């Protein structure tokens, strides 16, 4: 029991010295920049996919982790982004990068319109409404078959590398997605600290107290919802780059649960955790598919239950359990040494 | 007119299924204060147990009875091991995620053990369709509708006219006082979960001949059952029944009469009903209004 209590204890983010955090950033970025040059196309596509799930995870982390609002429906905004990209770039011939701002703006607007009434609900009711949104998404796509080509889906051939670089398409898309993820990560990191981040946490922990401090909970919640919808839509665009195909069946309940798994397994309230969670949901099926085709689903399920019962802080909680003693003991790793 | 009547009758038979699942959801909600997202998969798993026993040559009635008992203990076990440790301390988010996890485990576990292929399942009552005026209904559907009403009646008797029902109502109404009175509140919560699981399995067995047994067979109906439970009021068993039939009928009528809805898009009706109820009358048709003391 004491072991369980130790795992449950809340741990703050690691306080590492400035130079060691820069060192970590350089090592991670260096690895990420180098690895596509020496990997097979499949591995690059897999990593590009991780980047698009991580974008969704970052937005959901702000919404669920920091602001405390559940959404099971971000698959709908993800699908929106993917289809915007497929239709505008694939069918209409727009420049492929233009899909990113368009998806961001449309995702924000639709997220705002949906969130405005929906966020009057709390907890369970909000979960139900957003779950319904996720379940309706495939049938909406099929219904709009004039635009979306219904069940057949849209096959794409977009995001060609420009002529001045000698990269293959999978490598180029990897770098494009990585760049978008890094930009999204920096934005979310800025948002989750400082005044905005503290108002989100205030709304999560006690709305009444937050209100007395001059924060409007409804406004904060709706804006965060809209922002996370925009992140999901941009994630959808990068998904369309990576997979080069969009079809209705990819955007149903399974995807909604996958997104929840991203933030839960990674660790709620941590941006780095959202990225770790995305790594988990992409690689776990490829580790387990040798056992049985059902093993991946069981793995997701067990991970969700275990995280809630044993490790509420997710993978990032594990990192902190190992990291805190290290930071304290190893010279130059901690702050002010 | 014939089409209209037929749609009503079809709506009644699908509504019966939604009503029964909503009934299980309501039982769990009254016990633990949240919705069990794994309900449909628990029912499917119980139905698979019946199928396996039947394949092994056990007579259908014995297989169903055994599976009902197993489901009861399965549901009770889930409450004791996964839900109870979390209900006191944790938020809705935690509980919803746990039940989603259980749903995934059961869905894929059933796929692993029994494979994902579609299985044929024996009907309780075969024979030609019954004519109700110009409309027709299968005998199995009639059994389903009658079972739902019997279940509702049995639950009403249980809640209103037995000692254990009284304890159950007390435990929901005011857990702390019930505890202080020395009532076995923990036990009755576990019993609620067991009953919900057993009802799920019973309905799974009854609808399996029509929808064909496969992992995830009840997932498409889950959203309608949630809608039914919300519409009827989350804490009201009668509401669940009425809500189930309303949702079943309106979904069928919208599918055939509203332009642009069609068979694929009927789930949007559920989304619209959920949104409307939650925003304008969040306690539903028969639910108790929540009151907060400030």
Furthest CA-CA distance within chain A = 64
pLDDT tens-digit map of B74-94 = 999 999 988 888 876 667 788
Of A129, A292, A295, the CB nearest to B274: A129
Q: What would the two tokens of residue B46 be? A: 């119980």
DSSP-based three-state secondary structure for A133: helix
Of A129, A294, A309, the CB nearest to B275: A129
Rounded Cα gap, residues A204 and A65, in angstroms: 9
DSSP character at residue B129: P
pLDDT of residue A327: 80
Rounded average pLDDT over B100-127: 85
Q: How far is CA A69 from CA A117, A221, B277, in A?
A: 14, 8, 20
Out of A195-204, A312-321, B103-112, B256-265, which region has the weakest mean confidence (pLDDT)? B256-265
Residue A33 lies in a domain: no
Please report, for chain B, the start and end positions of each structural domain, with discontinuous segments joined by +: 20-217
Q: Flag if B92 and A121 touch (Cβ within 8 Å).
A: no
Rounded Cα gap, residues B294 and B289, in angstroms: 16
Rounded average pLDDT over B253-266: 76
Rounded Cα gap, residues A234 and A179, in angstroms: 12
For residue A59, the enclosing domain spans 43-252
Q: Flag if A124 and B85 touch (Cβ within 8 Å).
A: no
Residue A107 lies in a domain: yes
Measure CA B134 to chain center. Answer: 30
Distance (Å) from the C-alpha of residue B33 to the closest C-alpha of chain A?
A: 9
Residue A165 lies in a domain: yes
Q: Write out the H or E segment, with its range, that includes residue A154.
A: strand A154-155
pLDDT of residue A9: 75
Of A136, A297, A308, the CB nearest to B104: A297
pLDDT of residue B132: 75
- DSSP alpha helix (H) spans, chain B: 2-32, 39-55, 60-78, 84-87, 92-114, 139-161, 163-173, 175-180, 185-211, 219-232, 237-257, 267-280
Tokens 């001045």 belong to A164
Distance (Å) from the C-alpha of residue A225 to the closest C-alpha of chain B?
A: 16
DSSP-based three-state secondary structure for A206: coil
Smallest CA-to-CA distance from A216 within A200, A234, A232 is with: A200
Q: Which residues of chain A have pLDDT under 70?
A: 1-4, 335-337
Neighbours of A181 (CB within 10 A): 24
Task: Give the strand pairing for B135-137 and B130-132.
Answer: antiparallel
pLDDT of residue A337: 47
Q: What would the two tokens of residue B74 be? A: 């399965």
pLDDT of residue A82: 95
Mean pLDDT in chain B? 86
The ipTM, to two decimals, is 0.86
Q: At residue B182, what are phi and psi to the nearest 5 degrees?
A: 80, 15
Q: How far is CA B103 from CA A31, A220, A301, in A?
A: 37, 32, 7
Residue A86 lies in a domain: yes
Rounded Cα gap, residues A304 and A274, in angstroms: 14
pLDDT tens-digit map of B219-238 = 888 889 999 998 988 888 88
Residue A184 lies in a domain: yes
Residue A190 burial class via C-beta count within 10 angstroms: exposed 0-12, middle 13-18, buried 19 and up: exposed
Rounded Cα gap, residues B149 and B166, in angstroms: 21
- Candidates A71, A205, A294: best to mutate against B (most CBs of B within 10 A) is A294
DSSP character at residue B288: P
For A145, nearest residue in chain B (alpha carbons): B264
User: Is B294 a residue whose pLDDT tops 70?
Assistant: no
Q: How far is CA B212 from CA A38, B107, B146, B183, in A?
A: 49, 15, 21, 43
Residue A324 touches chain B, beta carbons under 8 Å: no
Of B107, B223, B265, the CB nearest to A132: B223
* CB-facing half-sphere around the CA of A274: CA atoms within 13 A: 29
Smallest CA-to-CA distance from A304 within B102, B22, B255 is with: B102
Share of chain B above pLDDT 70, in %: 95
Q: What would the two tokens of residue B17 be? A: 């299924």
Query: Could you tell me which residues come within 8 angstroms of residue A57 by beta carbon, excluding any fewer than 6 positions away?
Result: A259, A262, A263, A266, A274, A275, A277, A278
Question: Domain total for chain A?
Answer: 1
Residue A148 lies in a domain: yes
Residue A215 lies in a domain: yes
DSSP-based three-state secondary structure for B42: helix
Q: What are the chain A neighbours of B45 within 8 Å (beta carbons)?
A: none
Rounded Cα gap, residues A11 and A265, in angstroms: 16
Rounded average pLDDT over B15-22: 90
* Sign of the four-CA dihedral A180, A186, A189, A192: negative
Q: What would the two tokens of residue B109 be? A: 């576990």
Q: What would the two tokens of residue A89 be? A: 């770039």
pLDDT of residue B292: 63
- Confidence at B200, pLDDT banded by 50, 70, 90: very high
Q: Write out the H or E segment, with its range, that includes residue A245.
A: strand A245-246
């Amino acid at each position: 029991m004491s072991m369980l209590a130790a795992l449950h204890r809340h741990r703050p983010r690691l306080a590492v010295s400035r130079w060691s955090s820069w060192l970590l950033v350089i090592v991670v970025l260096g690895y990420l920049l180098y690895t596509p040059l020496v990997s097979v196309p499949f591995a690059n596509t897999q990593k590009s996919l991780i980047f698009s799930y991580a974008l969704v995870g970052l937005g959901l982390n702000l919404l669920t982790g920091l602001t405390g609002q559940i959404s099971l429906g971000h698959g709908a905004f993800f699908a929106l982004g993917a289809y915007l990209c497929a239709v505008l770039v694939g069918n209409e011939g727009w420049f492929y990068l233009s899909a990113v701002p368009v998806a961001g703006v449309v995702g924000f607007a639709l997220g705002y319109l949906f969130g405005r009434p929906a966020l009057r609900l709390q907890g369970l009711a909000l979960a139900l409404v957003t779950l319904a949104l996720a379940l309706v998404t495939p049938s909406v796509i099929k219904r709009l078959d004039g635009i979306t080509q219904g069940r057949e889906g849209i096959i794409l051939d977009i995001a060609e590398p420009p002529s001045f670089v000698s990269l293959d398409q999978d490598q180029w898309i990897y770098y494009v997605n990585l760049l978008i993820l890094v930009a999204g990560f920096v934005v979310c990191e800025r948002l989750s600290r400082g005044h905005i981040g503290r108002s989100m946490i205030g709304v999560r922990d006690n709305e009444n107290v937050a209100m007395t401090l001059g924060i409007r909970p409804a406004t904060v919640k709706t804006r965060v919802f809209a922002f996370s919808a925009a992140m999901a839509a941009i994630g959808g665009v990068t998904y369309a780059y990576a997979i080069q195909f969009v079809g209705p069946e990819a955007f149903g309940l399974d995807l909604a649960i996958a997104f929840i798994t991203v933030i839960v397994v990674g660790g709620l309230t941590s941006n780095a955790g959202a990225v770790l969670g995305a790594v988990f949901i992409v690689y776990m099926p490829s580790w387990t598919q040798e056992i049985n085709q059902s093993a991946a689903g069981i793995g997701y399920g067990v991970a969700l239950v275990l995280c809630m019962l044993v490790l509420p802080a997710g993978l990032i909680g594990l990192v902190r359990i190992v990291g805190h003693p290290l930071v304290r003991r190893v010279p130059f790793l901690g702050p002010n040494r | 007119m014939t089409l209209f009547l037929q749609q009503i009758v079809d709506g009644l038979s699908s509504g019966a299924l939604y009503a029964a699942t909503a009934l299980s959801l309501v039982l769990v909600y009254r016990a633990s204060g949240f919705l069990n997202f794994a309900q449909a998969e628990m029912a499917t798993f119980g139905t698979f147990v019946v199928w396996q026993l039947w394949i092994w040559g056990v007579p259908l009635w014995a297989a169903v009875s055994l599976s009902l008992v197993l489901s009861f203990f399965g549901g009770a076990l889930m409450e004791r091991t996964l839900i109870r440790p979390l209900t006191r301390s944790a938020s809705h988010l935690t509980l919803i995620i746990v039940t989603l996890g259980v749903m995934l485990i059961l869905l894929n576990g059933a796929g692993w053990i029994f494979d994902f292929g579609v299985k044929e399942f024996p009907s309780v009552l075969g024979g030609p369709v019954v004519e109700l005026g110009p409309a027709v209904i299968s005998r199995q559907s009639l059994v389903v509708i009658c079972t739902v009403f019997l279940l509702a009646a049995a639950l009403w008797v249980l809640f209103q006219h037995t000692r254990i029902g009284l304890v159950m109502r007390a435990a929901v109404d005011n857990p702390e006082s019930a505890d202080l009175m020395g009532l076995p509140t923990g036990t009755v919560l576990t019993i609620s979960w067991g009953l919900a699981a057993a009802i799920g399995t019973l309905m799974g067995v009854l609808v399996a001949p029509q929808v064909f047994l496969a992992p995830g067979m009840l997932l498409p109906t889950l959203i309608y059952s949630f809608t039914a439970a919300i519409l009827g009021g989350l804490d009201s068993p009668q509401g669940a029944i009425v809500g189930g039939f309303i949702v079943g009928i309106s979904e069928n009528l919208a599918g055939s009469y509203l332009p642009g809805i069609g068979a694929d898009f009927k789930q949007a009706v559920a989304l619209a009903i959920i949104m409307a109820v939650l925003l304008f009358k969040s306690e539903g048709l028969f639910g108790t209004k929540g009151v907060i003391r400030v």
